[in-house]
Amino acid sequence: MVQIIEDSVAGPTEAPHLELYVYRSPRDGETVMGYLCSDGFIQAGGEQIPWISTLFGVPVEDAYLRTLDLARQHGVERVWLNDPEGLFPAASRVAPASPLFLRSGP
C-alpha cells in the first residue's frame, strides 16, 4: 500500500520513501512540473533498489504516476509529495488504478 504524504513534518521519516518535488516551469511560470528526487536508491525489504530520477521538464501528472508505479513495484510504502506552493492539489490528481494507494495530509 502506498501512502501519499503531503506535509513536510510527515515526509522525511526513517521509513523508506520517495520524494516527488512539484514546481512551476521556469520557462513559462505557469506549467506545473514534477520530478522524483531522493538518494537514487531505496532500501526496502532488505534489498537496495536503484532508479533513475525523472528528468526536469516532466509534466507533474506523469511524474506523479511514474513515482507511484515505482513505489508500488518495489514495496515502498510512502511517497512524499513535496509541493511547497500547493500547485498539485489532491483534487487535480489522477487516481491510480489500484486500491493500494492511501492519502495522508490536508
88: three-class secondary structure by DSSP = coil
Q: How far is CA 90 from CA 75, 96, 104, 105, in A?
A: 22, 12, 10, 10
pLDDT digits (tens, 9 = 90+) for 60-103: 999 899 888 888 887 888 888 999 999 999 998 876 654 444 44
Q: What is the DSSP letter of 68?
A: H
State pTM to two decimals. Answer: 0.72
The residues pairing with 50 across neighbouring beta strands, listed in sequence order, are 41
Which pLDDT band holds residue 51 (cuts at 50, 70, 90)?
Answer: low
Query: How crowded is residue 95: how many other Cβ atoms within 10 Å of its Cβ?
Result: 8
Please give the span between the terminal C-alpha atoms of the chain, in angstroms, as a whole number: 19
Give the domain extent around 39: 2-104
**What is the mean pLDDT of the segment spanning 35-54?**
59
CA distance 6 to 104: 6
How many domains does the chain contain in total? 1
